[in-house]
Structure 1
Amino acid sequence: MSLAQVAAAARSSAALPLTLAVAAVDVDAPEEGGAAGGAPAGAFVGAFVGTAGGTVGVDDTVVLPVASASKLLLLAEVARRLDSGELTARQPVEVLPEDVTGGTGLLGRLSRPGWTVEDLAWLTAAVSDNTATNALLRLVGLPATARLARELGLERLTLHDRVRDERGPDDPPVFATGTARDLARLVALAVRGAMASPAASARLLGWMRANTDHGLVPALIDHDPYAPGFPEPLAGTLLVANKTGTDTGVRADAGVIVGARRVAYAVVAHWDVALGPSTERAAVHAIRDVGRALGAWAQRPA
């Protein structure tokens, strides 16, 4: 069964209004008209087709809320600035009262008021810390993330605001929006070492490797979350680095699976919350089914 068929079957089996956007990039496959590792868009796996001007997926160009998966864009900008010298890893950052918010993370529950840039990046990547995210956003600014997205060709991946406990009528309705295609492309660029620079790419992947949430795409994949060697393959095991997102009516996961092949992916589910918790369960089940197909693809010899 192709990956596109898996996504379609999972969506259909939910028997509920559910958008399931899927993109997956065979990072090391040669592109049409180029050698492996050339242009950043990649060749899509399964039923996905690499094209000279872009990529094709399952609803992969639909703009959806992507929740905290979009924090990859913020982390990419921080990694770029650390590599360029605009920031230093041990540079102190004071966490201000306006940074503190609820939801995921630990920082708002800890007593220490000051952290370093890289401390905040590790917290954002590992536990999706919303307070750390807000402090980093305040440090680099939303316009910088938009500029990086444009430079990388991520036309529809946008951070709209800081993380808020409540959104008023004058606030953007969601934290971030994007497409599965753009999220997968951002990861593929990092795996290829082409996200700003090889050093910045490696730093971003290292942060992603620390993510503690493997409950979506990696959930049904037999993988080792702690093995060394990332992002190069290790014989006999799969490795995963990812960033997830959770919000009302949204589940998202973007990352890379490393096996015989290196497969960058993004899966975003969006549904009508009025239909109740059964829809959320169906969305998670669908994402995990796609993840199982991605893991099987990554295990195939290149």
Structure 2
Amino acid sequence: MSSPRESWRSRRRAAGAFAGTLAALEALTAAGARVALHVETLDRAAVLAREGDDDPMPVAGLGVVPLLVEAAVQFGAGELDPLELAARDELSGLPGIWRRLHADRLPLGDLAALAPADADAANALLARVGLERVTRRFVALGMPRSALLDRFRAHRGPDDAPHVAIGTAREFAGLFRAVATGRAGHPGASAQVAEWLGLHRDLGLVGAATGVDPLSSDDRHRLLLVNRTGRAQGVRAEAGALTGPNGGAAYALIVEFDDAGVLHRDRAHEAFRVLGRELMEHTA
């Protein structure tokens, strides 16, 4: 029977170009973290690297993406009117944009545009779209082990779900591959979700290596990044799709760690930055 370290070595050899990412994740697991990784090509879904990618883990704000897919599908089918006004309900207590605005009611289409970066907007959109419909959308997207469990909350009591969302790295990488290739719901819904996500592109983790403009989709080096991050106490997650002149890849990385200090957090963040650099080597 091989030792855990020998197993990591064999996975790094198999991953080839992503050996550095797996080495960073090995160091995190040695420090007590839980990790999950899945990287696959956009064209054929060929697996480039994986580690614990079928294990459900907390993913924080990543859970909003299937909500956006369901909203886009309902808008396109005429089931929801993007101009319908929705009221700001119980505040989540989390930072956001809507709480700084004067309007306490916004059109559903505006809430969808705000939802990737605003917990109150996501909660209001979820209340109108319906958690049951979002749950069915997870299944339709091929994500039976992932789920949006609850609304966003700053504090979770004994009667609340322990996490806003859970998911597997494989399923979230597959979701972003579907968004990037027009198969999340339908091509129009996929394009709409990519547009909403592009309004709030987070370049603090994997995206830090790309150098793309967070406020523009135009890039002179023909790089296109669609991504979403999830951040909670002791949880960092990111899933996305990166395309460049040499190809494209969909990815998801989830790390659950002891957030005891800034250095602990920086070690977790470094694994995401390593993945970003190796994704660039693969696609650019």
Over 6 Å off, 4+ runs: none
Could you tell me whether the CA contact under 8 Å between 2:21 and 2:275 is conserved in 1? yes
Matched, 1:168 2:157: yes
Q: Which residue of 2 aligns with 1:64?
A: 57
Q: Which has the higher helix share?
A: 2
Residue matched to 1:11 = 25
TM-score normalized by the length of structure 2: 0.88
Instruction: State the partner residue of 2:3.
Output: none
Matches within 5 A, 1:114-153: 114-125=105-116, 128-153=117-142
Q: 1:64–1:228: structure 2 CA closer, same or farther, 3 Å change rule? A: closer
Residue equivalent to 2:46: 43
Q: Following the alignment from structure 2 to structure 1, what is the Cα–Cα distance between the partners of residues 161 and 74?
A: 27
Matched letter for residue 111 of structure 2: L
Q: Is the 8 A contact 2:201 2:226 kept in 1?
A: no
3-state SS of paired residue (1:252): strand
Give CA-to-partner distance per residue, 1:60-119, whole Å, 9 cap, x none. Answer: 1111100001111111111111111111222211222x2x22223111232211111111
Q: Aligned partner of 1:264: which letter?
A: A
Any gaps of 5 or more consecutive residues in structure 2? 1-14
TM-score (norm 1): 0.83
Question: SS state of the match for residue 172, structure 1?
Answer: coil
Q: Distance in 2 between matches of 1:167 and 1:225?
A: 32
Alignment partner of 1:286 is 2:271: yes
Cα contact 2:200–2:214 (8 A) shared by 1 = no
Quote the sequence identity (%).
34
Q: How many residues align?
A: 268
In structure 2, which of residues 176, 193, 196 is the aligned counterpart of residue 207 of structure 1?
Answer: 196
Cα distance, 1:249 vs. partner?
0.6
Instruction: Point out the more displaced range, 249-258 or 205-214.
Output: 205-214
Which residue identity is paired with 1:79? A
Distance (Å, rounded) in 1 between the aligned partners of 2:216 and 2:152: 32
**Most deviating of 257-266 and 134-143:** 257-266
Give unpaired runs (5+ residues) of structure 1. Answer: 30-41, 49-56
Could you say which residue in structure 2 is the equivalent of 1:182?
171
Specify the code of the residue in structure 2 equivalent to 1:266. A
